[in-house]
Chain A
Amino acid sequence: MAFLELKQITAGYSKHEPILRDFSLSVERGKLVSLLGPSGCGKTTTLRLIAGFLTPREGRIFLNGKDITQAPPHTRNIGLVFQSYALFPHLTVFDNVAFGLRMRKVPKDELVERVSKALSITDLSGLEHRFPSQLSGGQRQRVALSRALVIEPSLLLLDEPLSNLDAKLRVGMRAELSRIQKTLEITMIYVTHDQVEALSLSDEVVVMQGGRIEQIGSPHQIYRYPATPFVARFLGFDNRLQGTVTAVNPDYGVLSVRGQQFTFSMKAVPNEPEHFSFLQEGEDVEILFRPEDARIEESSGPNSLEVRVLFGTFLGKAVQYLVRFQDQEMTVLCSEGYRFQEGQRAFLRLDPNTWFLVRKE
């Protein structure tokens, strides 16, 4: 049995339709697993179940082999970091962090030592006597983290912990979280709607939607080989093209997009030889691909479509072009600055091995 097991959970809030149905998840000890999905997908509900603020209607939760389904939250020894930080406004940084230890009746000397250690891990030494209102957002975040870590929780749950920080701070805190997780070897469950956070921090990403798990995999797997159209769209396969399968054989397939032929390997997805097995000759499919997986060029070449440039947006390190192929609009990134004018003819070079194919309903 894994360190944390959720088995066939059905859960929701009073009288309403359940948010999670027959939901199962296992997390190995020492791993950082993130729950990724849009708001309302059930990721926070999952977190509240594990923390004990919500009791499942059906199913069981096991932590370290023990059934904790009915255990009251204050007995679970699970650390929590909230989106709002939830610091105690009337207590100093020291007393905030010491709170959990006082509940555990830790002797004074040990308490002082453990609090200072927790504060030094998060680089807060010297701020012991400040009140939360006297701290910056990043500092508050670190106090929240120290407060949860100091009790040596068997599991640390983080609910969108970085979403109230500005972009630059977020990157720094992300690295810090990752470092702390690795040095303390603590099992963490990280709830986020931000794919970059999930991909950069996690050992494993669980993509959720509508109370169900869409895909579980390593960040690379999730990013490169989404398992469902939802995961593909959620992870930035923003462009779509209509095509028709013209040939399939065990090694490669051929797709036609308005007469233009594209050849792709049937074995493009590692360890999943059956990935494209649903494709049949003559079938209409939808091609999903990322803006960064296509190139915009001046001249025609293999695997390219003739397009018209509609609009260019400067993004800093690249220019994002909106282009039109017949009646379909797509975006593409070009890292070589403004090279195309509005209305200009250009060629969109695609890489069929980065495509996600969906059968057209």
Chain B
Amino acid sequence: MKTSRFYLAVLGVLYLFLLGPFLLIFIASFGSEPIMTFPPKGFSLRWFAKVFTVRMFLDAFITSLWIGLASTLSALVLGIPAAYALVRYSFPSRSLLEVLFASPAVIPGLVLGFSLLRFFVLIGNFPIVLGLYVGHTVILLPYTVRVVSASLRNLDPSIEEAAVSLGAPPVRSFFLVVLPNIRAGVMAAFILAFITSFNNVPISLFLTGPGIAALPIQMLIYMEYYFDPTIAALSSLLIVITVLIVQGAERGLGISQYV
């Protein structure tokens, strides 16, 4: 009894640490004062309304959305075959490749962002949007490879052999029997990767350029100049959207078994 109470207390403190800041921001975003305060004075929804009128947020939102979608799709197109090769075949450099695919998740984002920036500068005149897209694809790969690998490992390899023995050439049998059965894993990878891209700061920070910024970077910039709770309202919106997406995915696909 005593120990269980102790663990519950630890758990409670942990949750407070995790959720406390969110809660603070969430409550603060409903304040009516033009400067963020806690506890907030009065109640108003006008900061939420303002989010939708700030041009730079809308532009950045669209940029982040497109970058997120494009890099997630690319990371899946590259990551699914990579995961397949890593799970199904054994070859001499497999463990090296596994490490390589994991490296963007291990190497600090700032280092990666900086080296990508140097690389693009070296190439010279590399379009900013393209740089963001390539950078995000790189950091998303480990997520798609890992999540898709997990769901491939759960799939009986003999169903592919069954398809082949029934006359389906190997590539065809991949599309006919493997892909449909790792659908949930691919969806999970998609959601996880998209959210990762959408929230990413370190890579975007380096690769953002004049006129084009990812949403989190735009929020940083905004905060340097303004102190009103608009930023809190936007954060609250993002948190709610993220929670809804993840919750929906968990209900529908049970993504936690892959992530």
Contacts and interface: CB of A to CB of B under 8 A. Distances in A.
A80 B162 contact: yes
Nearest to A51: B165
A74 B181 contact: no
Interface stretch (A81-89, A176-184, A198-206): A81-89
B69 to A, nearest CB: 26
B4 interface: no
A296 B209 CA distance: 94
A103 B167 contact: yes
B250 interface: no
A104 B167 contact: yes
Contact of A90 (B156, B162, B170, B180): B180
B163 A88 contact: yes
A148 to B, nearest CB: 8
Contact of B169 (A51, A74, A79, A151): A74
B165 A79 contact: yes
A80 B181 contact: no
A54 B33 CA distance: 74
Interface residues of B, number: 21
Nearest to A150: B166
A217 to B, nearest CB: 29
Interface in A52-97: 53, 72-80, 82, 84, 86-90
Interface string A145-179: 00110010000000000000000000000000000
B152 to A, nearest CB: 14
Given A84-B158, A86-B156, A78 B180 contact: no
A297 B164 CA distance: 59
B168 interface: yes
A144 B166 CA distance: 11
B49 interface: no
A53 B166 CA distance: 13
A260 B181 CA distance: 68
Interface in B13-54: none
Contacts, number: 66
A356 interface: no
Contacts of B97: none
Q: Which of B90, B163, B166, B168: most chain A Cβ within 10 A?
A: B166
Q: Which of B90, B162, B173, B181: most chain A Cβ within 10 A?
A: B162
A74 B164 contact: yes
Interface in B144-172: 156, 158-159, 161-170, 172
B158 A103 contact: no
A14 interface: yes
Interface residues on A, range: 20 to 34
A217 B172 CA distance: 41
Nearest to A157: B165
B32 to A, nearest CB: 54
A90 B181 CA distance: 6
B58 interface: no
B90 A14 contact: yes
A89 B166 contact: no
B177 interface: yes
Nearest to B90: A14
A82 B161 contact: yes
A178 B163 CA distance: 25
Given A86-B156, A90-B181, A80 B163 contact: no
A272 B207 CA distance: 85
Interface in A92-123: 99-100, 103-104
A274 B153 CA distance: 54
Interface of B: 90, 156, 158-159, 161-170, 172-173, 176-177, 180-181, 183
29 contacts: A51-B161, A53-B164, A72-B169, A73-B164, A74-B164, A74-B166, A74-B168, A74-B169, A74-B170, A74-B173, A75-B167, A77-B167, A80-B165, A86-B156, A86-B159, A87-B159, A87-B162, A88-B162, A88-B163, A90-B181, A90-B183, A99-B163, A99-B168, A100-B167, A103-B167, A103-B168, A103-B172, A147-B166, A151-B167
Interface of A: 14, 51, 53, 72-80, 82, 84, 86-90, 99-100, 103-104, 144, 147-148, 151
A-B CB proximity, top 5 nearest: A100-B166, A103-B167, A86-B158, A86-B162, A80-B165
